[in-house]
Amino acid sequence: MSLRAGESIPVSTNYIKSNPAVPVYRGNEILENLFAVIYHIEIGYNKDGAQEVKQYIIVDYKEYSLSENDKEEIMNIARGYCVQKGIDNSEDVEIKLLDNEVAEGFIERIFNNMKVVRGLITN
């Protein structure tokens, strides 16, 4: 089987918004105790003529592996973030642990690119 690219398809993404990252500490709020970072990305798009928003809450933790207790605790913190921000628990909200090095590198590149674009727009 050979692969080939097809015709381009218009994408109806209206915006991509990166909210401020939220650090999660184990103990006092000092850099040495940084345990994880919560990233919140919103993607606005058109669906059947209406504006929809897909929200991703991504938790990037700094350890190589987490115990089940740590996973549950950090997911509870992410859910608490959603409650604090008024984000309802709907099909348009996904909370994910970033536990893959390849995925982590990809997300970091996205955020870095968004910072560059934002800087170009605001200057």
Give per-residue pLDDT as tens, 72-87: 998 999 999 999 999 9
Q: Other CB atoms closer than 10 Å to residue 78's CB: what's the count?
A: 20
Number of domains in the chain: 1
At 16-28, the pLDDT tens digits run: 888 888 999 988 9
CB of 54 within 8 A of CB of 40?
A: no
What CATH number is attached to the domain comprising 106?
Answer: 3.30.300
Residue 7 included in any domain = no
pTM of the model: 0.70
| 77 touches 24 (CB < 8 A) | yes
| Residue numbers of the domain that contains 117 | 13-122
Separation CA 98–CA 107 (nearest Å): 9
SS3 readout for 58-118: EEEECCCCCCHHHHHHHHHHHHHHHHHCCCCCCCCEEEEEECCHHHHHHHHHHHHHHHHHH
Domain contains 3: no
Kindly state whether residue 63 falls inside one of the protein's structural domains: yes
Q: What is the pLDDT of residues 43-100, one digit of tens each?
A: 888 777 788 888 989 888 877 678 889 889 989 999 999 999 999 878 889 888 876 6
